[in-house]
Amino acid sequence: MTDPLLSRITIDPAVCHGKPRIRGRRYPAEVRLDLLSSGMTGDDTLADYEDLERDDLLAVLAYAARPVRTKRIQPVGRDGLNSDDSLKLLLTRPSGWVSLHASIE
């Protein structure tokens, strides 16, 4: 099931270094998360950024919650295309399997 709020999060490799943003604006989702985690309330954020809406902040939270919905991380082998310390992982998510390449430094 797809959260309709997630449609408010946009990614364009040519804007803000491809970081997730709110409704195509130059507001990276991570900055809104930083503000909320620093203690700034949603109302304070909306007062400072008048073109944002309450659903934009909820969309940022919904987007940030996605990685923790991973049910299981399973190593499936070494990826010979990168370095010897690169692992290929398979993530089980509610929507299905996702392949992930991770480097160990």
43-85, pLDDT tens digit by residue? 999 999 999 999 999 999 988 888 777 665 555 555 444 444 4
Determine whether 21 is exposed, middle or buried from the number of CB atoms within 10 Å of its CB (0-12, 13-18, 19+).
buried
Looking at the domain that runs over 4-68, which CATH code has it been given? 1.10.10.10
8-41, pLDDT tens digit by residue? 999 998 888 888 999 989 899 999 999 988 999 9
Query: Which pTM does this prediction carry?
Result: 0.63
**SS3 of residue 9 by DSSP:** strand
**Dist CA 84 CA 8 (whole Å):** 38
With beta carbons less than 8 A apart as the criterion, state whether 54 and 43 touch. no
- Any residues with CB less than 8 A from the CB of 77 and at least 6 apart, and which? 87, 88
